[in-house]
């Protein structure tokens, strides 16, 4: 444990929902729910206005609609969230080279390693400055926790929510943790919490009183030792900068099980293309292609194929995923499909296609008599029906940029407004196939002045 609270934990407030509110003037101050909107959709994030009604992340969207029927429900826009996250992470790296991102909206920072803080006043000053910089650059708010360890810094940021700062002074940790429920500690999930409760242990104080031997008996050697140390506020885990990605993957859950085999093949190819886009965006390539299929009965199958070298070529990934699909029985329908790439590298096997072409040439017939006539090209598939998702960015040739509020019965309703607007924009309705309406990239956020609560201690 350190002698000063120089580990900082940042947790952006209701991040996805806050980005939606910042980019859509008509949603500011309103209940907003971001997540899957189909029958099997799940809430990713709810704004604080929606949480008043009991809506929270991981809740089925159908249940959220019953609790907050008048909230705005929109689909996620991960490209925009990643862009804003990169701005926030850049601000953290100005404080220290040791930044450990946990997700798009959460990270640890070792202030001591950056020379930014060495005692309580300098740590508090760094936290105050960070919150102001985040607001100035993105217009969003984040909660900051400061402590002498990662565990306590994360607990502090939770106590600071929303839009606050909490510093846990070294020497006060045991008194602070004691009355807290055991679920407060990292690694204590619902199952472990229930197991401890059955043993009569519900608070951190009771964990410490139980003793290390008893916790080892109840939970096993590794978990018991770790939990006892945390109950005594001991946590020496370092901040680890830029944890290396082990895989890149994308997946989709479908509102209705897909039974049509050609449709399943099309979905796999589409997922492969999205996976490659993400792979290239990270400047990586991969050697092993993985296909994930969750069937109608919730059974999940994975298949993988390892190439001769790493690639980021969409054709290679598409074809490998298609070969893997051939070995999967989809009778009865599928509810989820995913394509991933592992065995990551920062280079590409440039001659992968050439090697494949050479292998094909070696197998080709040498004489015209042995040649097989080429098949006729397949008839082009009919253009897919245009789909408009609530929250989706669009642009109209006459009315400019906007976003989809809803669609149905062959029509789509669009609200035309931008992040710069101070008031809600106008609403127009179009036919879903209106040639003047097209999908668009998200517009960047605009920082807006806003007040926040006083920082806590």
CATH number assigned to the domain covering 247-364? 3.30.1490.100
- Candidates 49, 106, 112, 417; catalytic one: 106
Q: Is 100 left (phi over 0), alpha (psi -120 to 50) or beta?
A: beta
Domain map (residue ranges) of the chain: 187-231, 247-364, 393-439
Mean pLDDT to the nearest integer, 267-291: 90
On whether the CB atoms of residues 57 and 50 are closer than 8 A, the answer is no
Alpha-carbon distance 169 to 291, whole Å? 49
Q: What is the 3-state secondary structure (H, E, C) of the chain?
A: CCCCCCEEEEEECCHHHHHHHHHCHHHCCCCEEEECCCCCCEEEEECHHHHCCCCCCCCEHHHHHHHCCCCEEECCCHHHHHHHHHHHHHHHHHHCCCEEEEECCEEEEECCCCCCCCCHHHHHHHHHHHHHHHHHHHCCCEEEEEECCHHHHHHHHHHHCCCCEEECCCCCHHHHHCCCEHHHCCCCCHHHHHHHHHCCCCEHHHHHHHCHHHHHHHHCHHHHHHHHHHHCCCCCCCCCCCCCCCEEEEEEEEEEEECCHHHHHHHHHHHHHHHHHHHHHCCCEEEEEEEEEEECCCCEEEEEEEEEEEECCHHHHHHHHHHHHHCCCCCCCEEEEEEEEEEEECCCCCCHHHHHHHHHHHHCCCCHHHCCCCCCCCCCCCCCCCCCCCCCEEEECCCEEEEEEEEECCEEEEEECCCCCCCCCEEEEEECCCCCEEECCCCCCCCCCCCCCCCCC
pLDDT bucket at 367, cuts 50 / 70 / 90: very low
Q: Is the pLDDT of residue 455 over 70?
A: no
- The two structure tokens encoding residue 419: 């992040």
Beta strand 7-12 with 142-147: parallel, antiparallel or unpaired?
antiparallel
| The predicted structure's pLDDT at residue 347 | 59
- pLDDT tens digit string along 234-257? 988 899 886 666 788 999 888 788
On whether the CB atoms of residues 265 and 322 are closer than 8 A, the answer is yes
- pLDDT tens digit string along 106-115? 999 999 998 9
| The predicted structure's pLDDT at residue 350 | 44
Identify whether 244 is a catalytic site residue: no
- pLDDT tens digit string along 91-141? 999 999 999 998 889 999 999 998 999 999 999 999 999 999 999 999 999
β-partners of residue 109 are 8, 99
- pLDDT tens digit string along 436-451? 999 999 999 887 654 4
Top-confidence residue, 31 or 286 = 31
| The predicted structure's pLDDT at residue 380 | 58
| The predicted structure's pLDDT at residue 255 | 79
Say what the pTM is.
0.74
Alpha-carbon distance 125 to 110, whole Å? 14
β-partners of residue 437 are 396
Q: Is the pLDDT of residue 453 over 80?
A: no
Determine the distance from the C-alpha atom of residue 201 to the mean position of all C-alpha atoms in its chain, rounded to a whole number.
33
| The predicted structure's pLDDT at residue 351 | 41
**Distance from first CA to last CA of the chain, Å, rounded?**
19
Among 138-142, 275-279, 307-311, the least confident range: 307-311
Q: Is the pLDDT of residue 146 over 90?
A: yes
Alpha-carbon distance 284 to 343, whole Å? 10
Q: What is the dihedral of CA 13, 16, 22, 23, to 10 degrees?
A: 170
């Amino acid at each position: 444990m350190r002698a000063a609270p120089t580990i900082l934990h940042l947790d952006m407030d209701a991040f996805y929902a806050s980005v939606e509110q910042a980019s859509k003037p008509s949603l500011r101050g309103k209940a907003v729910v971001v997540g899957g909107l189909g029958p099997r959709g799940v809430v990713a994030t709810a704004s604080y206005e929606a949480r008043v009604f009991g809506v929270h992340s991981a809740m089925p969207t159908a249940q959220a609609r019953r609790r907050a029927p008048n909230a705005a429900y929109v689909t996620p826009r991960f490209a925009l969230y990643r862009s804003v996250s990169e701005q926030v992470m850049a601000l953290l790296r100005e404080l220290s080279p040791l930044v450990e991102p946990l997700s798009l909206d959460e990270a640890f920072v070792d202030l001591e390693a950056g020379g930014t803080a060495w005692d309580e006043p300098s740590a508090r000053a760094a936290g105050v400055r960070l919150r102001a910089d985040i607001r100035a650059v993105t217009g969003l708010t984040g909660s900051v926790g400061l402590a002498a360890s990662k565990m306590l810094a994360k607990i502090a940021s939770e106590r600071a929510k929303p839009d606050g700062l909490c510093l846990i002074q070294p020497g006060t940790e045991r008194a602070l943790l004691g009355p807290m429920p055991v679920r407060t500690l990292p690694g204590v999930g619902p199952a472990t919490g229930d197991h401890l409760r059955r043993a009569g242990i519900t608070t951190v104080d009771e964990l410490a009183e139980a003793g290390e031997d008893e916790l080892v008996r109840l939970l096993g050697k590794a978990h018991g030792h770790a939990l006892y140390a945390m109950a005594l506020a001991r946590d020496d885990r370092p901040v680890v900068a830029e944890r290396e990605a082990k895989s890149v993957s994308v997946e989709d859950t479908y509102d209705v099980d897909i039974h049509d085999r050609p449709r399943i093949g099309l979905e796999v190819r589409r997922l492969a293309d999205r996976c490659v886009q993400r792979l290239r965006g990270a400047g990586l390539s991969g050697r092993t292609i993985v296909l994930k299929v969750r069937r109608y009965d919730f059974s999940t199958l994975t298949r993988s194929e390892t190439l001769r070298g790493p690639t980021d070529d969409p054709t290679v990934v598409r074809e490998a995923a298609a070969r893997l699909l051939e070995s999967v029985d989809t009778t009865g329908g599928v509810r989820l499909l995913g394509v991933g790439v592992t065995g990551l590298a920062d280079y590409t096997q440039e001659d992968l296609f050439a090697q494949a072409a050479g292998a094909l040439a070696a197998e080709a017939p040498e004489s015209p008599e042995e040649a097989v006539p080429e098949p006729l090209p397949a008839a082009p598939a009919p253009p897919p029906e245009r789909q408009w998702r609530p929250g989706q960015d669009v642009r109209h040739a006459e009315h400019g940029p906007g976003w989809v509020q809803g669609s149905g019965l062959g029509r789509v309703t669009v609200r035309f407004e931008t992040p710069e607007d101070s008031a809600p924009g106008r609403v127009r309705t179009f036919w879903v196939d209106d040639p003047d309406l097209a999908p668009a990239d998200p517009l960047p956020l605009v920082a807006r002045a806003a007040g926040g609560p006083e920082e806590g201690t």
